[in-house]
Amino acid sequence: MDEPSLSATALTDREAFARLSLMVEAGVSDALGEVAQNRYALTMSGAAKAEPIVTPAMPRAALRPPLAATGFGEAPAARAPTTIPLADSQMVESARDIAAACQTLEALREALERFEGCSLKHTAKNLVFADGNPQARLMLIGEAPGRDEDLEGRPFVGPSGQLLDKMLAAIGLDRQLVYIANTLPWRPPGNRPPTSTEISICEPFIQRQIELVDPALLVCLGGVASKQMLGSDLGIMKLRGRWMNYGIKGRQVPVLPLFHPAYLLRQPAQKRLAWRDLLMLKARIAAEGLSAGP
C-alpha cells in the first residue's frame, strides 16, 4: 500500500504546528518557487535532473553550486578558498573595480543595488546596507543580515539588534553616534553559512564602505566578522578583550572584537566578559576625545 502523501494526510493543529516548526528550524523560511519539487527523487531515480528555477532577476550564470563553508554565527567562519572557479574569480575582480570606483556611500549603495554578481541578492528580499550616522567616528561591523534585517532592510533590528542598542546605551551611545554595517549586505537563505565565494565577492564592498566612512575606531561584532576583517584564524574567545589594527588609507585603525549580540542571547553568562569589553571601548572613546562628527 502506498504511503499517504503529506497533502492527503489530515493533520491536527498540534501536528501541523510541529511540522511547521521543524521546517523553520531547518531553515525552510522562504519560498523560491510556486511549486515544490522533490529534487532528490528526480536525480536519484535516474530521471532527468531538475532544472533550477530561473526568474528574470536571477540570471542562469549566477546559479553556481556553493563552495563548502565551515560555519556561521559563533561557529568557525568560512575561510576564503586558496583558489576559486575562474568565473567567480572574475566576479571578485569585477566587485573590486566597482567598489573602488564609488566615491560616496550613496554611490556604493547604488552600485550594490545594481550588482548581479552575488547569488545572495536573488534570494534576499532587501539590500541591508547600513544604519546610523555616516559621519560617526565609531563604526560597527556585523556578520550578515538575519530574517528581521532582510525584511526591514536595516542591520540589527531583530532581537540581537535590540540587545545591541542596550549595549550601546550602557556606555552612553546610540545609533546616531555610530555607523553600523555587515560584512555581507544580503541575507543567506535560511540563515545558512555564507560560502567562501560569497564572502570573497562581497568583501570589496565592505572594505570600500569602511574607507568611505573613515572611522577612528572599528568594532567587529562576532567571530565571523572579526576573523574576516582581521585576517585571523583565532576564535572570538581569543580575539575579544584586546585592541588590534585594520589598515585603511595608509593608516592603522584600532579594532576591538566583541561578542555578537546573538551569541550573548544564547550564552547570557558571557555578558560579564562583554561588559568588560564595552568598558574598554568606552575608555578608548574618551581617551580619543571622539564624538559623532568628524
Give residue 4's pLDDT.
44
Q: What is the pLDDT of residues 250-268, one digit of tens each?
A: 899 999 999 999 999 999 9
Find out whether 133 and 178 touch, Cβ atoms under 8 Å: yes
| Per-residue confidence band for 11, with pLDDT thresholds at 50, 70 and 90 | confident
Is the pLDDT at 24 greater than 70, yes or no? no
What b/e sequence results for 258-277 when a residue is b if at least 16 CB atoms lie within 10 Å of its CB, and e otherwise? bbbbbbbeeeeebbebbeeb
Give residue 79's pLDDT.
42
Q: What percentage of the chain exceeds 90 in pLDDT?
A: 66
| Per-residue confidence band for 80, with pLDDT thresholds at 50, 70 and 90 | very low
Find out whether 64 and 85 touch, Cβ atoms under 8 Å: yes
Is the pLDDT at 204 greater than 60, yes or no? yes
Give residue 141's pLDDT.
98
Is the pLDDT at 109 greater than 80, yes or no? yes
How far apart are the C-alpha atoms of 197 and 79, rounded to whole Å? 9
Q: Which residues contact 291 (CB under 8 A, 6 or more apart)?
A: 137, 177
Phi, psi of 244 (to 5 degrees): -130, -170
Q: What is the pLDDT of residues 170-181, one digit of tens each?
A: 999 999 999 999
C-alpha cell read off for 47: 530521471
| Per-residue confidence band for 77, with pLDDT thresholds at 50, 70 and 90 | very low
C-alpha cell read off for 38: 522533490
Find out whether 64 and 170 touch, Cβ atoms under 8 Å: no
As a whole number, mean pLDDT of residues 202-220 equals 97
C-alpha cell read off for 54: 530561473
How far apart are the C-alpha atoms of 108 and 221, rounded to whole Å? 22
How far apart are the C-alpha atoms of 184 and 189, rounded to whole Å? 13
Q: What percentage of the chain exceeds 70 in pLDDT?
A: 70
Q: What is the pLDDT of residues 52-74, one digit of tens each?
A: 434 334 333 333 333 333 333 33
Ranges of H-type helices in 45-122:
86-101, 105-114
> What one-character-per-residue DSSP string does 98-113 give?
HHHH--SHHHHHHHHH
Phi, psi of 3 (to 5 degrees): -75, 140
Give residue 266's pLDDT.
97
Is the pLDDT at 134 greater than 80, yes or no? yes
CATH topology of domain 86-288: Uracil-DNA Glycosylase, subunit E (3.40.470)
* Stated length of the chain: 294
Q: Which residues contact 45 (CB under 8 A, 6 or more apart)?
A: none
Cα distances (angstroms) measured from residue 236 to each of 54, 126, 195, 224: 39, 29, 20, 8
Average model confidence (pLDDT) across the chain: 81
Give residue 21's pLDDT.
63
As a whole number, mean pLDDT of residues 137-141 equals 98
More confident residue, 217 or 2: 217
Span of 13-22, 79-88, 140-149, 195-204 with lowest mean pLDDT: 79-88
- CA 94 to chain CA centroid, Å, is 21
Find out whether 229 and 218 touch, Cβ atoms under 8 Å: yes
Task: State the CB neighbour count (10 A cutoff) for residue 215.
Answer: 24
How do the domains of the chain map onto residue ranges?
86-288
